[in-house]
């Protein structure tokens, strides 16, 4: 079981509610948190980075995703090795405290192939 952050922690609810939901998830035994760089253009990753930084790093798994545009630059999206590395680095910057490597699940658009730019 995991707790996701798509329409909620990217700005849909206040920070106090985000923290309360995350704490309730931990109390219920949830330790897998799923987000994406594009959720709120990094806002969801930032929120969880701040909330989870007070917990021991080995007490949870934080998964993020890449693929969708992160800016108006058409090159700032996709699943090329360079783009994945760039987005992982950006995700890490949104997590204050000790460096941690997010688990990254590539998300493919319908008909897309890994490593191939589709426009």
- Sorted by where each starts, the structural domains of the chain and their CATH numbers stand as 3-106 (3.20.20.100)
pLDDT tens sequence across 72-115: 998 888 888 888 888 888 888 887 655 555 455 555 555 655 55
CA torsion 11-7-60-27 (nearest 10°) is 90
Distances (CA, A) of 50 to 13, 53, 73, 98: 15, 5, 28, 12
Q: What is the pLDDT of residue 22?
A: 92
The one catalytic residue among 9, 39, 60, 67 = 39
Q: What is the pLDDT of residue 112?
A: 58
Phi then psi for 63, rounded to 5 degrees?
A: -105, 135
Q: Which residue has the higher pLDDT, 35 or 110?
A: 35
Predicted confidence (pLDDT) at residue 51 exceeds the cutoff of 70: yes
Return the SS3 of 114.
coil
Distances (CA, A) of 41 to 8, 74, 109: 13, 15, 18
Active site residue 9: no
Q: What is the pLDDT of residue 96?
A: 63
Question: 79 and 38 in contact (C-beta within 8 Å)?
Answer: no
């Amino acid at each position: 079981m995991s707790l996701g952050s798509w329409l909620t922690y990217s700005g849909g609810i206040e920070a106090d509610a985000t923290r309360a939901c995350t704490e309730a998830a931990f109390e219920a035994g949830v330790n897998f948190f799923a987000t994406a760089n594009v959720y709120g253009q990094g806002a969801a990753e930032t929120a969880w980075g701040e909330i989870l930084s007070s917990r021991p790093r080995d007490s949870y798994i934080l998964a993020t995703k890449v693929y969708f545009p992160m800016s108006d630059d058409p090159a700032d999206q996709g699943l090329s090795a360079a783009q994945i590395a760039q987005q992982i680095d950006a995700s890490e910057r949104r997590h204050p405290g000790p460096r941690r490597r997010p688990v990254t699940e590539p998300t493919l658009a319908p008909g897309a192939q890994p490593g191939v730019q589709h426009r």
